[in-house]
Amino acid sequence: MHQTPQKIQTDTLVIGSGIAGLSVALKLAQKHQVYLIAKSTVCEGSTQYAQGGIAAVLDPFDSVQAHIDDTLKAGAGLCEKKAVALVAEQATESINELIRLGVPFSKEQNSEAYHLTQEGGHTHRRVIHAADHTGRSVINTLVEQVQNNPNITILTQHITVDLIMDADNKQCLGSHILNKETNQVITLLANYTVLATGGASKTYLYTSNPDTSTGDGIAMAWRAGATVTNMEFNQFHPTCLFHPQDRSFLISEAIRGEGGILKLPNGYAFMKDHDERADLAPRDIVARAIDHEMKKHGIDCVFLDISHKPADFIQHHFPTIYARCLKSGIDITQQSIPVVPAAHYTCGGIETDLNGQTTINRLFAIGETAYTGLHGANRLASNSLAEGLVFSNMASQQIIKIYSKLDEAVVEQVKTWDTRHITQAKERVLISHDWDEVRRIMWDYVGIVRTDKRLKQALKRIYILKSEVHEYFYAHTLSSDLLELRNLTLVAELMIKSALKRKESRGLHYNLDHPKTYSKSRPTRLNPKQVKLHKIKN
């Protein structure tokens, strides 16, 4: 049955319901009407699974400069210093806002002081947390605020198709959005659009991220003409549970921060052979070390051991990890945890300025989908949630400051999504097959350690898949899986193109053909007007 396409107009459109999306929606709602789009439930997203915490200067013996220095060092010479300083300076106030909203951060035992932990790459204890379920606690608090705000309309189970651009391709007018339950495409027009769609780690076969992390915002922004930067730097979390039923479950870096030790099956603590900081080295170093040891010894995993700590200490600080491992038959108070690296965080993304403004007028990007310059070639642990909070504040302030309505004549020219020439797919095997192949190609050829030959082979295979998906997309009715696959193939191409451009090894990008690190380097910028991706014949 054909449905009449729906057209909606609002002040501001926020796409994504993680910490960045929820925060910016709440701030914008103080002045404007907001539509908030959630691909799944309003709680689903990477923030929900963040265990460790949020980095901010909260200890009198710590300093903003120390936080800046640690971030710059972890970023391996590619951080934008102004972005680093901004986050380090404003993160503390962002934490205080969450405390005022009621986020139940953990406190020292028998004390009102907040418990701060230390994670890899940090020189001080500056990570505030809510046990080992910080993300869930923050999200639950923000969701309650959003749901009770009369200026915010929430659309769950909706996935964006593409951004809407004006005739001159100079400004964003909103987005076409698919209702996953009715299959109706809504044309949602907005004076300002904020992408907070998260990262693209689902591009890889093994990831700590939820199924929603398919690079939607990055892909849509690229198709609309936005610049993307540093897509070769995908962070692999060193320690995800290695278990047939729970392979993608993340084991927080805070375990190592509280004394956990990485060991080989024979009990040898190997990290001291790779870095003087041993188990507290930054993630890129630890992930490469684990990858090296697994290949060297022909083993499926390594082991993370915190069983030397008192049982009540472990259960108090890591209740979620303790319970999840116990469910899989592992008592972490007595046994080591089998772990492997998994794709975790997209350090590159849509390029923005310090207000979250992209290279497209009226389009903002915040959180993991954005490249702000904070993370450089490698993200420092627990800086991601801080970035989402700080830039949601910066973006909302800027939008409120420059707010103006779209020209009515421009709005009237926008057409609804055309479904006249498409048919219902008779079979969906191509989608499921290509989805699996993209992720296997990326895992095998564009992983922790790379070579030029592997990257070029990956690109050839992605070109074939991209052509298949393109043909399928324009011939059949839309589905969430199809839209995500379309975005995954494009983001995979952007990642590979960026990796091929970098003729050195730095941070998260390690290429055996170019093992040296240049004394000076620049971010890898891809502009749709200058970089031609694989052309597809219609």
Positions marked active-site: 283
Cα separations in angstroms, 444 against 68, 137, 204, 454:
35, 35, 9, 8
Q: How many helices (H) and strands (E) does the chain have?
A: 14, 20
**Helices of type H across 446-531:** 452-473, 480-501
Do the Cβ atoms of 15 and 160 come closer than 8 Å?
yes
Instruction: Please state whether beta strands 158-165 and 172-179 pair in parallel, antiparallel, or not at all (unpaired).
Output: antiparallel
Instruction: Please state whether beta strands 6-15 and 185-195 pair in parallel, antiparallel, or not at all (unpaired).
Output: parallel
Task: Tell me the angle at which helices 64-74 and 81-101 cross, rounded to the nearest 10 degrees.
Answer: 120
Nearest to residue 78, comparing CAs of 529, 397, 523? 523
Alpha-carbon gap, residue 85 to 374, rounded angstroms? 9
Q: Which letter does DSSP use for residue 176 in this model? A: E
Helix (H, G, I), strand (E, B) or coil at 531: coil
Token duo for residue 124: 């001080």
Q: Which letter does DSSP use for residue 367 in this model? A: G
* DSSP state letters, 109-165: TTSSSBPEE--TT-SS--EE-STT-HHHHHHHHHHHHHHT-TTEEEE-SEEEEEEEE
Helix (H, G, I), strand (E, B) or coil at 342: strand
Alpha-carbon gap, residue 30 to 25, rounded angstroms? 9
Cα-flanking dihedrals φ and ψ of residue 512, to 5°?
Answer: -60, -25
Alpha-carbon gap, residue 492 to 263, rounded angstroms? 33
Do the Cβ atoms of 505 and 517 come closer than 8 Å?
yes
Which residue is associated with the tokens 């959630």?
38
| Residue 474 CB partners (closer than 8 Å, separation 6+) | 422, 538
Buried b (16+ CB within 10 A) or exposed e, 283-319: bbbbbbbbbebbeeeeeebbbbbbbebeeeebbebbe
- In the chain, the N- to C-terminal Cα span, in Å, equals 27
Question: CA torsion, points 6, 163, 220, 387, in degrees to nearest 10?
Answer: -100
Do the Cβ atoms of 58 and 95 come closer than 8 Å?
yes
**Helices of type H across 363-473:** 383-402, 408-412, 429-445, 452-473
Burial class (CB in 10 A: 0-12, 13-18, 19+), 320: middle
